[in-house]
Amino acid sequence: MITGGQSFVSAPPAFSADGRLLLVCSGRTVSVFSTATAMLVSELEGHEGDVTAVVVVPPPAGAAATPAAKLASNCWTAGLDGVLIYWDFVAAEAVRKVQVGLPVHSMVIPNICRTSKGAEVSTPFAFVSVEDTSKPVNEPKALRGQMRIYDLTKGRKVGYLLAETRKPEKIVASSSGEFLGITNKRKLHIWRIPTKDFKHDKIRKIKLRHTKNLTTLAFHPSEGIVAAGDVTGRILIWRGFGNAKFSESSAKSKVDEGRDGVRGNDDADTCTTWHWHSSRVRFLKFSSDGAYLFSGGLEGVIVVWQLDTGKRRYKPRLGSPLLFFVDSPDSSISCVSCTNNQVYLLKMPNMEVMRSIAGIKLPTASPSLGGSDRVVYGFDYTNKLVAIPTEDYCIQFYNLFENTEVSELQVCERNFQPVDDITMYISLVSLSIDGSLMCTVDVKLPEEELGGLVTLKFWNHGSSAGNYFLSTVIYEPHSDAGVSAVAFRPGRNMAVSSSFGGNFKVWVQSLSSQSSNERNYAGWRCQSVGSYKKKPMTAAAFSADGSVLAVAAESVITLWDPDSNALVGVIAETLSPITNLSFVGTSVFLMSLCQSSRPEVTVWNVSNLSMQWAYSIYAEAACCSPDGNEFAVLTLLSCPDGGTSTEQNGAILLFNAESPNPVASWSVKKARGGSISFVKGDVSSKDKETMLLVYVNGSHEYVIFDPRKREELVVSRNIDKKVQAEELALIGYASIYGELPKLESKKEVSDVPFIPSDRPWETIFSGSSHVLPPLTKLCSAFLSSLLEKRPVANE
């Protein structure tokens, strides 16, 4: 079983102490990437729930600049399984676990010292934000969020609850570990932590208020300044916060006359407001020297604010809304996480994009065409790729076996702005079974019922998997009607497109060689047009040998000869319009799906134009094996009262087309918006290709398994994952002079006698180190060999 497709942007990543590794939360694991190559180095597997926080253990106070501190390779992780795990992330080994018992949504570990036997000892304390699952979810005023303290050395909870909130909030710590903060609606909660001789009863707290809901905050690295962003895009800068309550003396803060922008009796000197973002601020981060403030949000732009003057500069065109910004300990490299499941590595201070870590594109909200909300994935059966439309008018080709992005193809030449309304989207992607041809349909939405456009594009395969070049563009292939389906004829350069407007068109490819280019450009033209009683054509499919074309005319299945475009048969009507048609391998059976208010899965016998069997179940997706007579259906489980289907739970049913009894079944989660497909496996011992089934859920996480084996669909280690071995840094002598050659040990080692030579520089260091002459002899001979003797001229 192979799993993949996890989100890389569900939580902030973390750099190692030397900045050479980046630890990224990815589902139930932590993926360790090299910042030099952006390749996967190792994975930390041990959590039974999604990982929500990773914290690299900081070096002890006063040791941050030592070489040993840069070699530190330990971290703590927290997850929704309620467990904190201490790791050696270079060896990918779990060292110890601390049980919390409740889902952990956020965690910070300040650098805290404790006095033990008269000496200060660095003691790790974890401040965690947990969810109290004992309180009802439906009650709006229930305080389900809690902030707790755990002594990681003793593995137990200490002190009292720091705060209770409606939901678990993200905890932010200052770089010194002296301050912690969270946003809670329109208030900022800030705690001062005694970093020396820590005692939980010495923790002090203040609140800063605002008129809008706050979304994020950041602490200045050296001064009493805190910044916070709100839902309207404003950034607030409080200076001198906590001077009254956090100071050791009992001195009061400044009088109200000098507290510009501070609300009421809030403990701060001044409050300044900046505004550039058009919507909520997603992250704030001060530079290591405190001179600049970084902010980001929906616009996909990093804004760099000069703290003293308020002037700003920008890092634009990151292509997606921003989520997190993290810098390395030496501030030479930073990373920014985007909503498109991509992490960019930036070279500071000019923020040049060096490399990117790209995961599978996450689901996007796109309007549907013709009342259909079907998923528009395309699967490359031969090359084991999935083609996923993205919100920036591209198609991402993702390798399912290696869990890596192969390429990204720009379908529409149009600039994408995350803040703009959706005016164009890709409604359909279809690939031939061998992956040599691809067809896409993009739709431009009308503005005030004017200017809508449907475009059909054919693509030819390039030199490598996932590489396609545009062959033909057809504007409004079915007049002003939308395209419901596209299917390729096996073994032939022929395709069919069906339309909600009441017809289907057969397209053929013609090759034309050009001497100026080695590539033969292929143009597509319409060969024939067909219709049936002017009914909407909702689905289409070719048989395995390509001799029969099946087109669904709403609730009627029509059979055609694709070469002559002649109607050869009609199968009886279904209860509701058909949305999916597929021939079951090389058999005589045809499978159809109805996904309306009266859902149904039906198997038809094409040879006698009759129904074989039918089930009244709602199928989210279905796929047929290219060989044999098996097909799989992804169904949504109904509620106990027989109402609507649930969003999360579902089942995969494997059928033999001849029998209505499922051969096998698997329970799955996040079935809404999911899809399934058969992919080609490896060659077995009997020289026969294995057929694997891939399930992609609504969050674009996927699992690949052998449907003929009985195995539970749970997250497991990717057995075929290609992991790059990380090159360890050279230290000590090797970092200056390079590594010494490895010499094979010999049983007998002959002694090398010391014999003076007239040319000592040639033999002075020859022989093994343990038989070299004393240093007093070597030094004088070596220095004299570097001197050039010249005759002295007589004056």
**Residues 764-771, mean pLDDT to the nearest whole number:** 53
Q: Identify the band that residue 250 occupies on the pLDDT scale cut at 50, 70 and 90.
A: very low
**Predicted local distance difference test score (pLDDT) of residue 766:** 54
- Which residues are CB-neighbours of 765 under 8 A, at least 6 positions away? 772
SS3 sequence of 267-317: CCCEEEEEECCCCCEEEEEECCCCCEEEEEECCCCEEEEECCCCCEEEECC
Residue 63: predicted pLDDT = 53
Q: How far apart are CA 455 and CA 288, in angstroms?
A: 50
Which pLDDT score is estimated for 138? 83
d(CA 716, CA 27): 11
Least confident of 203-207, 655-659, 745-749: 745-749
Task: Give 414's pLDDT tier (boundaries 50, 70, 90).
Answer: confident
pLDDT for 759: 53
| Helix H or strand E segment including 782 | helix 775-786
The DSSP output letter for 538 is: E
- pLDDT value, residue 423: 83
Mean pLDDT, residues 648-654: 87
The reported pTM is 0.82
Mean pLDDT of 167-182: 93
pLDDT tier, 73 (very low <50, low <70, confident <90, very high otherwise): confident
Q: How confident is the model at residue 561 (pLDDT cuts 50, 70, 90)?
A: very high
Q: Give me 493's structure tokens.
A: 């350069």
CA distance 209 to 232: 15
Residue 448's pLDDT is what? Answer: 79
Task: Tell me what pLDDT residue 722 has.
Answer: 45
pLDDT value of position 513:
54
Rounded to a whole number of angstroms, the distance between the first and last alpha carbons of the chain is 92
What pairing do the DSSP bridges indicate for beta strands 83-88 and 93-99? antiparallel
Percentage with pLDDT > 70 across the chain: 80
Average pLDDT, the chain: 84
Decide if 128 contacts 104 (C-beta within 8 A): yes
- Choose among 63, 54, 39: nearest CA to 85: 54
Amino acid sitting at position 285 = K
- 446-502 pLDDT per residue, tens: 887 788 899 999 999 988 888 999 999 999 999 889 999 999 999 899 999 999 999
Residue 770 pLDDT exceeds 60: no
What type of residue sits at position 793? Answer: A
In this prediction, residues 692-705 reach a mean pLDDT of: 92
Nearest to 760 by CA among 733, 731, 790, 780: 780
Phi then psi for residue 603, to 5 deg, are -115, 130
Better-scored residue on pLDDT, 16 or 778: 16
Say whether pLDDT at 176 is over 90: no
The pLDDT, as a whole number, for residue 369 is 40
φ, ψ for residue 85 (rounded to 5)? -120, 135
Mean pLDDT throughout 624-633? 90
Does residue 735 surpass a pLDDT of 90? no
pLDDT at position 465 is 86
pLDDT in tens, 368-411: 444 344 567 889 988 889 999 988 889 999 999 999 999 999 99
| Rounded Cα–Cα distance for residues 674 and 672 (Å) | 5
Q: Which of 111-125, 309-323, 526-540 has the lowest mean pLDDT?
A: 111-125
pLDDT at position 720: 41
